[in-house]
Amino acid sequence: MRQKLFKPYLVGCALAAVVFLVAAFAYQGFTFDPRLIVFLILLLLNAHYQIFSVDGSRSFAITFPILFPVVALFGPAWACALGFLGTVSLDELDRDKLVLAYNQGAIGLSAGLSALAFQATGGIPALVVSLPVAVLTYSLLNHGLAMLVFYLRADQPALKWTFILNVFKTLIPSVALSAFFYFCFYHYDILGLFGAYFLFVVVRSGALLGHLETNYRIALIRSLMRAVHAKDPSLMAHLENVADYSKRLAKACRYPFWKMPILIEAAYFHDIGKLEINDSILKKSGRLTPEEYSRMQTHPTRGVEFLKEVPLPPAHKPIVENIAGYHHERYDGTGYPRGLKGEEIPLEARIVAVADTWDAMVGERCYRKPMPIPDAIAELRHVKGTQLDPVLVELFIELIENDNRSVHAVRSVTHRPMHVL
């Protein structure tokens, strides 16, 4: 029964935001300040990286702190409008349009109602009280609306109420950051806003403290790669090849450019679960027994579990886990570990599956010789539509054939005989 309410609920949230917006402008009047464009630009720039980690298990959205000067100084109508328009990330454009409308409506409605709560509790003269109330109103509304979505959508796991308790633990940093943006804008206008945003970006990236988080993560990846190399040198070469092939195929299929560095990094992790597979299975030259093959099939799940302990940025985790967990799913639904079919398999996993299959055929192995390129191309075409995404296979074959033509062209030039004049 509740599934039938899912779409009406999404539409209702979006319409509620629009009704609130119209009513708020009708009440407070439409007066436009050019500085609002700057807020809109900063919100859009920030939309893709809006999650700010508090600790390993809690985080809050940076959206409201940037919006708060608008809430305080421009009123509910503009808070709702910028919340609705300024929080669309490029990732969300690929989503279902109804879900996108709900997301924007929920943020706009939460921002507008938080502005009303701010005014009702004293506004700027009572900032010590009104600011925390505004933050709390925004957080509870936004997360409460989201919890209803998860409840109505039966194929999603229900959120636990402890999630709301964790929201309260993020209130102090959220209030502090909101106050920081407000005072910078209030005292230094647009220059202060730019300065506050720049300082925030610097701190978020780790640049202020010498890129500590980034350096730590890169060092960890290198340590893991050394562990892989020590276990199986050919596996290390395989990881590097798959990362390179994946990057080229992703470009060819117009994979979102802002995700490309994440995909390349994630491709190195695709077989990381094999670190937990016994060497007698991993390096066996003959056919695996059913028991050994069953054991080998656990490496995607092992890889995902392993990666949960790696301190990856929140924006990276889904892509890394998609690749590690689903690169052995087959296009016809007969793969493992979940038997996903067709486009149910994440795009990045389908990309890496093609690259992985190709290198498995043409790469150097201690137990067999590489397959000739023409034979490997024929085999790719043989398994397209069953094992691999047929569109990605043809794109990849085109890349390989272009490589071969380029190599032959270079050889024909370098081996051209010299003419004696």
Instruction: Give the C-alpha separation, 388 to 395, whole Å.
Output: 12
- Note the pLDDT of residue 147: 80
153 and 21 within one domain = yes
204 and 219 within one domain = no
- Note the pLDDT of residue 36: 93
- Note the pLDDT of residue 368: 63
Sign of CA dihedral 339, 341, 345, 350: positive
Amino acid at 182: Y
Instruction: Give the C-alpha separation, 286 to 230, whole Å.
Output: 22
245 and 179 within one domain = no
Asked whether residue 402 is domain-assigned, the answer is yes
231 and 159 within one domain = no
250 and 368 within one domain = yes
pTM of the model: 0.53
- Note the pLDDT of residue 211: 42
155 and 194 within one domain = yes
Helix pair angle (127-152, 171-205), 10° resolution: 80
366 and 307 within one domain = yes
Number of domains in the chain: 2
197 and 85 within one domain = yes
49 and 184 within one domain = yes
Q: What is the DSSP letter of 333?
A: S
Give which of 87, 397, 49, 358 is closest to 204, Cα–Cα. Answer: 49
CATH number at residue 265: 1.10.3210.10
Helix pair angle (171-205, 35-46), 10° resolution: 80
- Note the pLDDT of residue 419: 29
334 and 243 within one domain = yes
Domain end among 178, 209, 240: 209
- Note the pLDDT of residue 331: 94
- Note the pLDDT of residue 220: 62
8 A C-beta contact, residue 114 and residue 79: yes
CATH number at residue 35: 1.10.1760.20
- HSE value, Cβ hemisphere, 13 Å, CA-based, for 352: 32
Domain end among 192, 209, 226: 209
pLDDT beneath 70, residues of the chain: 1, 48-61, 90-95, 154-167, 202-235, 311, 365-368, 406-421
260 and 231 within one domain = yes
Asked whether residue 419 is domain-assigned, the answer is no
Tell me how crowded residue 251 is: count the other CB atoms within 10 A of its CB: 13
Largest CA distance in the chain: 94
116 and 65 within one domain = yes
8 A C-beta contact, residue 400 and residue 373: yes
> 123 is in which domain, residue-wise?
2-209
Asked whether residue 421 is domain-assigned, the answer is no
Backbone angles phi, psi at 284, to 5 degrees: -65, 130
pLDDT tens, position by position, 116-142: 999 999 999 999 999 999 999 998 888
- Note the pLDDT of residue 308: 81
Asked whether residue 420 is domain-assigned, the answer is no
Instruction: Give the C-alpha separation, 343 to 357, whole Å.
Output: 18
